[in-house]
Amino acid sequence: MPMTMTQKILAKHAGADSVTAGRLIKAKADMVLGNDITSPVAVNEFEKAGFDRVFDAKKIALVMDHFTPNKDVKAAEQCKQCREFAVKHGIEHFYDSGDVGVEHALLPEKGMVAPGELIIGADSHTCTYGALGAFSTGVGSTDMAAGMATGEAWFKVPEAIRFNLTGKLGENVSGKDVILSIIGLIGVDGALYKSMEFGGEGMGNLSIDDRLCMANMTVEAGGKNGIFEVDRVTLDYISDKVERDYEIFSPDKDAEYAGVFDIDLSGVKPTVAFPHLPGNTKTVGEIGDVKIDQVVIGSCTNGRLSDMRTAAEILKGKKTAKGVRCLVIPATQKIFLECIRLGYAEIFTEAGCVFNTPTCGPCLGGHTGVLAAGERCVATTNRNFVGRMGHKDSEVYLAGPAVAAYSAIAGKISAGE
């Protein structure tokens, strides 16, 4: 029976020869992930159910990234609960302040996900790891608790939408612009509970960072997961990170898709998602004079070294506009250190930016850059819902690192023309 990439991975982990869309299965997980917001709920459910041990201490990751460094007493207590649980059960992959990173940048960096694996996480953007040819998806904290105890989770096998990529990205255009364009094309429910599968000859022109960003935001189109075919770019990335055995799955040529889209990367332009949906997109050329108060460059979409490089090259020798706050947040400690070594931290600081340690803080309006009523922010984050980054009357405009950096200089949304 012909299958998509996702169906093949789910079949393997369910111990089945094949699966079809709509089938309910129980599948084994290779990694169970939680953060400082979702893990305490999962721990409570784990203990309430009477579990006294985890299924595998090496296959659980607890990443304290959302409200860290702890912003208040409640945040500190949540992290303490996670810390104590990790010690009690010998959780190998526990990451706290000083050794942390934004979870969806940290796990790939540390080789904790690999092609063909199945990852569940109590965070909706767990779909990021599809960039490496894995099946990964977000689950609720109760499912996380069951996953930590049993190493298994229930799924309804999703249908798939195929995206055939051709061409090559233009200057100052990144994977963020591609995925925003796609969400604008199909809508925020255009892939509802479907697998978004990416392939085609143009895929080789996308870096791993582009792919991680795109897979991350497939959930913003309603996707169950996003997944890229494994190629030389993938293998080069994991070559010094993943030492265990893994299996590569490719879609069958006659696999069935609920829809097929042809995307010419050379036609993608710098794109911005206006409030209050990721699908409310416009190219920069279509945007009028939109003045801003803040810029955030970072997060699990665009906090990687290539994003820092793009921003540094644009900001070098420049100053942020008067009245504009610009926060630059590398996604992991490793990237933070590289920014210092490469001189990016100096460039950002001299430009008038705030250079922060890794955190999810401003993305969800948690801390470090919360918006007041009426304020506008250009952010390289992944959501711009009402009140997402602070006051319900604030506005968030999603963009890639180039547009964000140019906007910080111009004091309004700009691509530098």
CATH of the domain at 317: 3.30.499.10
Distance of CA 227 to the CA centre of its chain: 13
pLDDT beyond 90 at 69: no
> Are 207 and 356 in a shared domain?
no
Q: What is the pLDDT of residue 273?
A: 97
Domain assignment present for 13: yes
> Are 245 and 350 in a shared domain?
no
Tokens of 226: 């996003």
With bands split at pLDDT 50, 70 and 90, how would you rate the model's confidence at 99?
A: confident
Q: What percent of the chain has pLDDT over 90?
A: 95
What are the helix (H) ranges across 208-265?
A: 208-216, 232-238
Tell me which residue range forms the domain holding 295. 271-410
Domain assignment present for 415: no
Domain assignment present for 300: yes
Task: Please give the average per-residue pLDDT across 292-312, as a whole number.
Answer: 97
Q: Which of 229, 161, 165 is nearest to 193 (CA)?
A: 161
CA dist 259 and 196 (Å) reads 10
Give the three-class secondary structure for 118: strand
Boundary residue ending a domain (233, 249, 265): 265
> Are 164 and 247 in a shared domain?
yes
- Mean confidence (pLDDT) of the chain: 96
With bands split at pLDDT 50, 70 and 90, how would you rate the model's confidence at 345?
A: very high
| Residue environment code for 324-346, b if the CB has 16+ CB neighbours within 10 A, otherwise e | bbbbbbbbbbbbbebbeeeebbe
The answer to whether the beta carbons of residues 383 and 389 sit under 8 Å apart is no
Task: Please give the average per-residue pLDDT across 209-237, as a whole number.
Answer: 98
Domain assignment present for 164: yes
With bands split at pLDDT 50, 70 and 90, how would you rate the model's confidence at 125?
A: very high
Domain assignment present for 89: yes
pLDDT beyond 90 at 119: yes
Total domains present in the chain: 2
Task: Please give the average per-residue pLDDT across 332-336, as a whole number.
Answer: 97
> Are 325 and 212 in a shared domain?
no
pLDDT beyond 90 at 285: no
The Cβ of residue 69 has, within 10 Å, a number of other Cβ atoms equal to: 19
> Are 305 and 198 in a shared domain?
no
> Are 310 and 391 in a shared domain?
yes
Q: pLDDT per residue over 150-164, tens digit each? A: 999 999 999 999 999
Q: pLDDT per residue over 178-200, tens digit each? A: 999 999 999 999 999 999 999 99
**pTM for the structure as a whole:** 0.95
Q: What is the pLDDT of residue 1?
A: 84
Q: Which helix (H) or strand (E) holds 273?
A: strand 271-273
Give the three-class secondary structure for 196: strand
List, in order, residues 6 or more apart from 203 with CB less than 8 Å away. Answer: 165, 211, 228, 229, 231, 233
> Are 224 and 313 in a shared domain?
no
Domain assignment present for 365: yes
> Are 185 and 286 in a shared domain?
no
Q: pLDDT per residue over 230-271, tens digit each? A: 999 999 999 999 999 999 999 999 999 999 999 999 999 999
Q: What percent of the chain has pLDDT over 70?
A: 100
Give the three-class secondary structure for 317: coil
pLDDT beyond 80 at 107: yes
> Are 302 and 228 in a shared domain?
no
Task: Please give the average per-residue pLDDT across 283-292, as a whole number.
Answer: 92
> Are 278 and 219 in a shared domain?
no
10 Å CB burial of residue 415 (0-12, 13-18, 19+) is: buried
pLDDT beyond 90 at 326: yes
pLDDT beyond 90 at 68: no
> Are 111 and 182 in a shared domain?
yes
With bands split at pLDDT 50, 70 and 90, how would you rate the model's confidence at 117?
A: very high
The answer to whether the beta carbons of residues 228 and 234 sit under 8 Å apart is yes
Boundary residue ending a domain (206, 240, 265): 265
> Are 100 and 173 in a shared domain?
yes
Domain assignment present for 221: yes
Q: What is the pLDDT of residue 211?
A: 98
pLDDT beyond 80 at 348: yes
Boundary residue ending a domain (240, 265, 290): 265
Domain assignment present for 286: yes
Q: What is the pLDDT of residue 417?
A: 66
Q: What is the pLDDT of residue 288?
A: 87
